[in-house]
Each structure stands twice: as structure tokens, then as C-alpha cells.
């Protein structure tokens, strides 16, 4: 099979981790007789440097014309980079928001499970880890605070910043349906996370989620306030199957969930729309503190590439092969710095990519 893949290496560690994911994809192509045609586009700080904007319309057109998009990460050292003090639509992150909106990627799936081999890298106590955990966060991705009106102006003589949080029923309904659909393929349990004790948008969220729930009688649904959820994640992570939540809460909770899998370098993600075209990226950022040092963990990006094969290209057994190769390499004791523990073998970004590619 021949597929067109748009690659967005981005900034910081982005190019290093995408390189490793491509290595693994090439190994899949060799073994299973596929052809992946890659087209690279610029997004983020590198695009600002080249074109003055974080994502050009031509780059969007390239992404739209492909079968899937694989992204590293974008952005600089926030607060202390040449890309910070500029208008909101000219910041590196605006490129990411633009591509999510342009491709209609409203559903962001972030799986967080603990590999047995990484129990030592998990910061939780053994009795809390128990038999481990396996959850997915279904994060709404094209609404809420990220896409509301945003401005800073003088109000009553004071410099005032405004960010608005808006959701309509349709935006909530379509992500809720995605959440219940995935729950049906898993342990049939949805925890809808909101802040309905304060926010109107959360009250609407809760109402619509329960309307949708009526179409999925087999799924056990419950509500949880987001502050409680943050606490429950480290107190009893095994209770979660599908966490269904809005954009900002999903952003924060997924970083928290990533750490209990051992490292943020382990958490993959898929951003999906109503078609087959999806965008796949690690949940972490461009990690400017470790960029260029060959220490970044490429596994989140490699697992995102596996999700790409599964969801956009219908290559299920190839996706399974990548996931199995990751598990094998972890079983063999190879670790990047972020997941290193006693008795294991420390490897760099490139070596980790080589090992996984070899074992596909
Ligand atoms: P970050 O996720 O880049 O880094 C947080 C911490 O985790 C750092 O200490 C970093 O070294 C570490 N880390 C991240 N990925 C790692 C990996 N693969 N292996 C080992 N360690 C890893 O978050 P941040 O520092 O808050 O943000 C840095 C930049 O990234 C900002 O410009 C931010 O806007 C951007 N960002 C981009 C994306 C994206 O492109 N999808 C996501 C999050 C943050
Ligand atoms: C993520 C990132 C982005 C987000 C930023 C860079 C806009 O943190 O993908 O988790 O908040 O969605
Ligand atoms: Mn984030």
C-alpha cells in the first residue's frame, strides 16, 4: 500500500524524535511491503523564522492533501524566546492551533497505561500502582478557552486580559459520542470530567454527556470535578477507563497522567476528525532544555506513529508490530534518561529508535 504522510518535525526535540519515528515507519514499510511518501512542512518557530508566520496556508494544503500527519512538537522556551513577545496568532503554538482547527481535529485521544517494565519509573507507591492502569483521555480539541476571544486592553484604567470559554451543544455532543464509542471497545466506563460546580460551560457539558449516554446503556458513566480528578489520578489511577473532558482540562490532566506512566516521553496521541485524516503527535512539547542532546525519549512519537497506522491507514497488524517492538525493547531493559532505573541500559534518542526499528 502507498500512503502520503506529512511530517512536521517542528522545534526543539521535534526533529530528533520524528527522525526516530520515521526510522521505525521505514522498517514497517520494508517488512510489510508498503510505501510511505513523506512530505515535510514547517510549523512553529522554524516557520516563523522562514516565513514570518507559524504555519502557512500552503503547508495546511499539503497536510490536507495527505493521508495522515505526524508531528514532533513546536515552541520555544516560553517567556524567554524570540517568539514570545508577539501577537497571539504569530506565536509557534498558534501554528498547532491553526492546523487542529483547519483539519477539524476535535477529538484528541491520549492513552496512558503503565508497562509492567516501567513500574520502577512510576513515581507512585507500589500499593497505589497495584495491577497497573490503562486509561485513555478523550480530550475535546477545537473548542473552549483555546479558541475563544482573547485580548488585553485597558478596562477601568487597569491593564486587563480576557480569554473566553465557549462550548455549544454540538461541540460537546460530537466529542461525547467519540468518548462513548471508544469506551464500547474498552472496559465500557466513562468518567466525564468538568467543573459544573462553577462553570456554565461545564453544566452544559454534563447535560449533553448524559443525553449521549442514553444511547450507550452498556456504558457506565459518572461525573467527576476536575480538581478531584487531578487528585484521583495519583490516588487510584486504576479506576479510570475513558476520561472524557474539555480542551484545557484534558491538556492538564494528560500531562499528569503521562508522568504516572513513567515519563511524559511515553504518552502518544491521535487527533481525529470525521474523516480518516488525522494528526499524530506525542503529548509533550519541544523540550528546549534537552534539545539537540540526543537524550529525548522518542517512544511517545513512535507510539503516535503506530496510532497513525491504526486510525488513518488501517494498518492494524503493522501498528501492533510497533507496539510490540516498544514492549520488547523495554523488556530488554533499554531506557532513555527520563525512564532510567537501576539495572537498565541507558541509551540515547537515536539508539532507542534503532532498537525499536530492528525489532519491528
Ligand atoms: P515540554 O513537554 O516540552 O517539557 C516539559 C519537561 O518534560 C521538560 O523538562 C522536558 O525536558 C521533559 N520532556 C518533554 N518531552 C520529553 C521527552 N520526549 N523525553 C524526555 N523528556 C521530555 O513542556 P514545556 O517545557 O512546558 O514546553 C516547552 C515548549 O513546548 C513550549 O513552547 C510549549 O508551548 C511547547 N509545547 C508544544 C507542544 C506540541 O507541540 N504539541 C506540546 C506541549 C508544549
Ligand atoms: C499539547 C500542548 C498544546 C495544547 C499547546 C502547545 C498549544 O500543550 O498538545 O498538549 O495545549 O494543546
Ligand atoms: Mn499539553
pLDDT digits (tens, 9 = 90+) for 126-146: 999 999 999 999 999 999 999
Task: Please check whether residues 145 and 237 belong to one and the same domain.
Answer: yes
pLDDT in tens, 51-75: 999 999 999 999 999 999 999 999 9
Q: Is 355 a member of any domain? A: yes
Instruction: Considering every ligand atom shown, identify the ligand nearest to the alpha carbon of residue 12 and give its number.
Output: 1
Task: Please check whether residues 215 and 132 belong to one and the same domain.
Answer: yes
Question: Please, which residues have CB within 8 angstroms of residue 89's CB and are 6 or more apart in sequence?
Answer: 54
Look over the chain and give the mean of its residue pLDDT values, rounded to a whole number. 97
Catalytic one among 146, 167, 216, 334?
146
pLDDT at 183 exceeding the cut of 90: yes
Grid coordinates of 347 = 541509551
Question: How many A from CA of 96 to the centre of ligand 2?
Answer: 8
Answer for the pair 106, 175: CB distance below 8 angstroms, yes or no: yes
Classify residue 160 by burial, with Cβ atoms within 10 Å: 0-12, 13-18, 19+: exposed
Instruction: Considering every ligand atom shown, identify the ligand nearest to the alpha carbon of residue 285 and give its number.
Output: 1
Of 212, 235, 260, the domain-final residue? 260
pLDDT in tens, 315-328: 999 999 999 999 99
Task: Please check whether residues 129 and 93 belong to one and the same domain.
Answer: no
CB of 318 within 6 A of ligand 2: the answer is: no
Question: How many A from CA of 78 to the centre of ligand 3?
Answer: 13
Of 230, 260, 290, the domain-final residue? 260
pLDDT at 86 exceeding the cut of 90: no
CB of 96 within 6 A of ligand 2: the answer is: yes
Task: Please check whether residues 249 and 188 belong to one and the same domain.
Answer: yes
Report d(CA 257, CA 195) in Å as an integer.
Answer: 19
Task: Please check whether residues 95 and 210 belong to one and the same domain.
Answer: no
Task: Please check whether residues 30 and 129 belong to one and the same domain.
Answer: no
Task: Please check whether residues 275 and 255 belong to one and the same domain.
Answer: no
Q: Is 164 a member of any domain? A: yes
Q: Is 113 a member of any domain? A: no
* Ligand 1 atom 8, closest CA: 287
Q: Where are the alpha helices (DSSP H) in the chain?
A: 14-32, 45-51, 57-64, 92-102, 126-129, 169-184, 200-213, 226-235, 247-260, 299-311, 316-331, 349-359
Number of structural domains, the chain?
2
Query: What's the CATH code of the domain at 3?
Result: 3.40.718.10
Q: Is 154 a member of any domain? A: yes
How many CA atoms lie less than 13 Å away from 270 in the CB half-sphere?
Answer: 24
Predicted local distance difference test score (pLDDT) of residue 81:
83
pLDDT in tens, 90-104: 999 999 999 999 999
Instruction: Considering every ligand atom shown, identify the ligand nearest to the alpha carbon of residue 263 and give its number.
Output: 1
* Ligand 2 atom 7, closest CA: 93
Q: Is 112 a member of any domain? A: no
Q: Is 321 a member of any domain? A: yes
Q: Which atom of ligand 1 is nearest to the CA of 300?
A: 18
Task: Please check whether residues 45 and 163 belong to one and the same domain.
Answer: no
Predicted local distance difference test score (pLDDT) of residue 215:
98
When pLDDT is cut at 50, 70 and 90, the band that residue 314 belongs to is very high
pTM of the complete model beyond 0.80: yes
Question: How many A from CA of 247 to the centre of ligand 3?
Answer: 10
Give the residue from 197, 220, 218, 194 showing the smallest Cα distance to 208.
194
Query: Would residue 146 show up in a list of annotated catalytic residues for this protein?
Result: yes
ipTM: 0.99
Q: Is 2 a member of any domain? A: yes
When pLDDT is cut at 50, 70 and 90, the band that residue 88 belongs to is confident
% of residues, the chain, pLDDT over 70: 100
Question: How many A from CA of 284 to the centre of ligand 2?
Answer: 8
Q: Which atom of ligand 1 is nearest to the CA of 299?
A: 18
Query: Would residue 195 show up in a list of annotated catalytic residues for this protein?
Result: yes
Predicted local distance difference test score (pLDDT) of residue 271:
98
Probe residue for ligand 1, chosen from 82, 99, 265, 286 as the CB with the greatest number of ligand atoms within 8 Å: 286
Task: Please check whether residues 165 and 237 belong to one and the same domain.
Answer: yes
Question: How many A from CA of 211 to the centre of ligand 1?
Answer: 37
Task: Please check whether residues 170 and 94 belong to one and the same domain.
Answer: no
Q: Is 48 a member of any domain? A: yes
Give the residue from 46, 56, 40, 42 showing the smallest Cα distance to 81.
46
Task: Please check whether residues 137 and 222 belong to one and the same domain.
Answer: yes
Query: Would residue 227 show up in a list of annotated catalytic residues for this protein?
Result: yes
CB of 76 within 6 A of ligand 1: the answer is: yes
Of 231, 260, 289, the domain-final residue? 260
Tell me the angle at which helices 316-331 and 349-359 cross, rounded to the nearest 10 degrees: 120
* Ligand 2 atom 5, closest CA: 93
CB of 283 within 6 A of ligand 2: the answer is: yes
Task: Please check whether residues 128 and 252 belong to one and the same domain.
Answer: yes
What is the span of the domain harbouring residue 244? 123-260
CB of 251 within 6 A of ligand 2: the answer is: yes
Amino acid at each position: 500500500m502507498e500512503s502520503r504522510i506529512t511530517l512536521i518535525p517542528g522545534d526543539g526535540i521535534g526533529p530528533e524524535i520524528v527522525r526516530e519515528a520515521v526510522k521505525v515507519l521505514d522498517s514497517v514499510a520494508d517488512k510489510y511491503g508498503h510505501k510511505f511518501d513523506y512530505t515535510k512542512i514547517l510549523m512553529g518557530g522554524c516557520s516563523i523564522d522562514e516565513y514570518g508566520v507559524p504555519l502557512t496556508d500552503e503547508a495546511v494544503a499539503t497536510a490536507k492533501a495527505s493521508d495522515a500527519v505526524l508531528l514532533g512538537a513546536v515552541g520555544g522556551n516560553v517567556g524567554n524566546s524570540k517568539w514570545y513577545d508577539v501577537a497571539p496568532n504569530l506565536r509557534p503554538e498558534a501554528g498547532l492551533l491553526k492546523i487542529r482547527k483547519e483539519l477539524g481535529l476535535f477529538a484528541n485521544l491520549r492513552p496512558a497505561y503503565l508497562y509492567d517494565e516501567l513500574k520502577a519509573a512510576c513515581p507512585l507507591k507500589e500499593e497505589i500502582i497495584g495491577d497497573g492502569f490503562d486509561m485513555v483521555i478523550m480530550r475535546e480539541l477545537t473548542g473552549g478557552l483555546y479558541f475563544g476571544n482573547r485580548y488585553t486592553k485597558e478596562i477601568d484604567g487597569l491593564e486587563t486580559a480576557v480569554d473566553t470559554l465557549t462550548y455549544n451543544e454540538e461541540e460537546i455532543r460530537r466529542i461525547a459520542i467519540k468518548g462513548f464509542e471508544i469506551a464500547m471497545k474498552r472496559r465500557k466506563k466513562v468518567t466525564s470530567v468538568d467543573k459544573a460546580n462553577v462553570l456554565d460551560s461545564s453544566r452544559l457539558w454534563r447535560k449533553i454527556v448524559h443525553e449521549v449516554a442514553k444511547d450507550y446503556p452498556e456504558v457506565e458513566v459518572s461525573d467527576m470535578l476536575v480538581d478531584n480528578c487531578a487528585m484521583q489520578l495519583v490516588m487510584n489511577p486504576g479506576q479510570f477507563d475513558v476520561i472524557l473532558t474539555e480542551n484545557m482540562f484534558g491538556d492538564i490532566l494528560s500531562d499528569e497522567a503521562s508522568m504516572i506512566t513513567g515519563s511524559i516521553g511515553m504518552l502518544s496521541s491521535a487527533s481525529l476528525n470525521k474523516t480518516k485524516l488525522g494528526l499524530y503527535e506525542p503529548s509533550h512539547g519541544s523540550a528546549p532544555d534537552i534539545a539537540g542532546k540526543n537524550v529525548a525519549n522518542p517512544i511517545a512519537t513512535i507510539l503516535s506513529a503506530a496510532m497513525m497506522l491504526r486510525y488513518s491507514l488501517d494498518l492494524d497488524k503493522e501498528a501492533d508490530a510497533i507496539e510490540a517492538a516498544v514492549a520488547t525493547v523495554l523488556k530488554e531493559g533499554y531506557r532513555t534518561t527520563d525512564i532510567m532505573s537501576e539495572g537498565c541500559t541507558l541509551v540515547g534518542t537515536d539508539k532507542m529508535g534503532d532498537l525499536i526499528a530492528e525489532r519491528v
